[in-house]
Amino acid sequence: MVGINPEAATKAPPKVVTFRIRRYNPVSGREWWQEYKVETSRGMTVLDALLKIKEEIDHTLVWRYSCRMGVCGSCGMVINGVPRLACQTQIAEVADESNPVVTLEPLYNFPVIRDLLTDFTSFFEKHKKVKPYLIRNDKEEQEDPKGPYIVTPEQFEFMEEFTLCISCGLCYAACPVAASDPEYLGPQALGYLFRYVVDPRDEAWEMRLMIADDEHGCHRCHYAGTCSMVCPKVVDPAQAIQRLRNLLYKYKLGLLRKKKTSKPAPPPKEWKPRKPMPPEAQLVSPDVDLKKLEEEPVEIEVDGVKIRLRYKIYE
């Protein structure tokens, strides 16, 4: 798996690293490899190096990034042949003294706009195709909600992994089927589809299974698993696709039991009005002798139980 590698933080990268970057200029149609030498420091990421190149060497270099912390999913690129997030990849992970060279390419299976910047339009169209939102039949509840739909901890645990996807497209870039069939829904969209099929709140599971049943849907998967290998959030889309296929076969053979979907939670119990505070606990009036209060315990009664309190006054 290509997640965060804490070991990398303990190593220092080579002092100077050569970044070999595949570039493309859409205006001239020219494609070429360009090299930049960057002085590095411990903890530096590939994104930091790109920003350094942009600021100090070549401001024409183009790529996409935003959060710098592995959350937005926008800085995906192919680093030394593997799709990774640039902000989550330390240089020490991908270069060492014996080979101080890092190769950067735009994500595979995506059209290139310029340099390392790729076009996600068709990727997000596929994402939209699987209807990545809850669908319910209880229209009345939708218009006038009475309470949240119940998801038990066990149900959430089962689907949680598939809710972590940040739509970075690394799995799609690693998928050999997406390379040969541009219409293939791909691991990201199918993983999302599975997440809603198993979500106890969703009632459109049959329609979703039919979307997966498409000729460019889950049957195209070779189950090579490279999608899961590169996921920076440790989602396992390959497993989701296998489970989806399993559900689909059972559904077609009439072996799938009707999904039990969750109902809105009952309204919370009425709050009991608070008991009034005992008079002894009210704010002390200014003419009370505070010193005396500290010295002599006060006795109060709560629910028939006598409690002796000794005050400590802090100035």
We find the least distance from the C-beta atom of residue 251 to ligand SF4, in angstroms, to be 20
Residue 94 interacting with ligand SF4 (CB under 6 A): no
74 interacts with ligand FES by CB under 6 A: yes
Q: How far apart are CA 129 and CA 117, in angstroms?
A: 24
Query: By CB under 6 A, which span of 42-50, 162-170, 247-255, 285-293 interacts with ligand SF4?
Result: 162-170
Q: Contact with ligand SF4 (CB under 6 A): which of 169, 195, 202, 212?
A: 169
**Positive or negative: CA dihedral 163, 167, 168, 172:** positive
State how far the Cα of 181 lies from the Cα of 220, in Å rounded to an integer: 9
Shortest CB 171 distance to ligand SF4, Å: 3
Q: Which is nearer to ligand SF4, 175 or 209 (CB)?
A: 175
Residue range at the interface with ligand FES (CB under 6 A); choices 18-26, 71-79, 154-162, 281-289: 71-79
Sole residue written with tokens 């799938």: 256
Who contacts 219 (Cβ-Cβ below 8 Å, separation ≥6)?
Answer: 213, 245
62-80 burial, b if ≥16 CB within 10 A, otherwise e? bbbbeebebebbbbbbbbb
Q: Cα(315)–Cα(309) distance, rounded to whole angstroms? A: 19
Position 171 contacts ligand SF4 (CB under 6 A):
yes
Listed ranges 14-22, 108-116, 219-227, 246-254: which one lies at the site for ligand SF4 (CB under 6 A):
219-227
Give the nearer residue to ligand SF4 in terms of CB position, either 13 or 217.
217
> According to CB under 6 A, which one of 25, 41, 60, 66 is a site residue for ligand FES?
66
75 binds ligand FES, rule: CB under 6 A: yes
Stretch that binds ligand FES, among 60-68, 106-114, 146-154, 216-224 (CB under 6 A): 60-68
Contact 110, 119 (CB under 8 A): yes
CA dihedral 154, 156, 160, 166 (to 10 degrees): 180
Stretch that binds ligand SF4, among 50-58, 100-108, 234-242, 289-297 (CB under 6 A): 234-242
95 binds, among ligand SF4, ligand FES, none (CB under 5 to 8 A by kind): none
Cα(173)–Cα(81) distance, integer angstroms: 11
Residue 46 near residue 194 (C-beta atoms within 8 A)? no
Cα–chain center distance at 66: 15
| Among positions 13, 200, 217, 237, the unique one binding ligand SF4 when judged by CB under 6 A | 237
101 or 224, CB closer to ligand SF4? 224
Parallel, antiparallel, or unpaired for β 16-25 and 101-105?
A: parallel
β-strand 82-85 against 101-105: which pairing, if any? unpaired
Quick check: 67 binds ligand FES (CB under 6 A)?
yes
Q: Quote the tokens at residue 254.
A: 């009439």
68 lies in the site for ligand FES, by CB under 6 A: yes
- Upper half-sphere CA count for residue 110 (Cβ side, 13 Å): 30
Residue 119 C-beta: closest distance to ligand SF4, Å? 16
Q: Which of 75, 95, 165, 211 is the binder for ligand SF4 (CB under 6 A)?
A: 165
Interacting residues with ligand FES between 85 and 144 (CB under 6 A) = 85, 87
* Helix, strand and coil percent figures for the chain, each rounded to 5: 35, 15, 45
CA distance 136 to 292: 66
Name the residues that contact ligand FES, by CB under 6 A. Answer: 65-68, 70-75, 85, 87
Name the residues that contact ligand SF4, by CB under 6 A. Answer: 165-171, 174-177, 187-188, 191, 221-227, 231, 233, 235, 237-238, 241
